[in-house]
Amino acid sequence: MPEGYCVKCKAKKEIVDGAEETMKNGRKAIKGKCPTCGTVMFKILGGKATPAAAPAAPAPAKPAPAN
């Protein structure tokens, strides 16, 4: 499990019951609990979340110019 900072304990601890979330700005984060006091811990991960790749539609063929 990832390690985060507990504000209540004022120490770095392992995040218990961590679940990866995507914030509304598109960044990934892990939200869980402190193993000692049970306070919610939140750690922002680097990079933006990538949306699931949808299959690309082939480009429509251009009609030949009339001469």
What confidence tens digit (pLDDT) does each residue in 17-27 have? 999 999 999 99
Higher confidence at residue 65 or residue 14? 14
**Cα 26 from chain centroid?**
7
Banded model confidence at residue 47, pLDDT cuts 50, 70, 90: confident
Three-state DSSP class for residue 30: strand
Check whether 52 has a pLDDT greater than 60: no
Which of the 8 DSSP states describes residue 54?
Answer: P
Paired tokens of 20: 């990866």
Question: In this structure, is the dihedral angle defined by the CA atoms of residues 3, 7, 8 and 10, taken in order, positive or negative?
Answer: positive
Q: What is the pLDDT of residue 50?
A: 62
Number of H helices, E strands in the chain: 0, 5
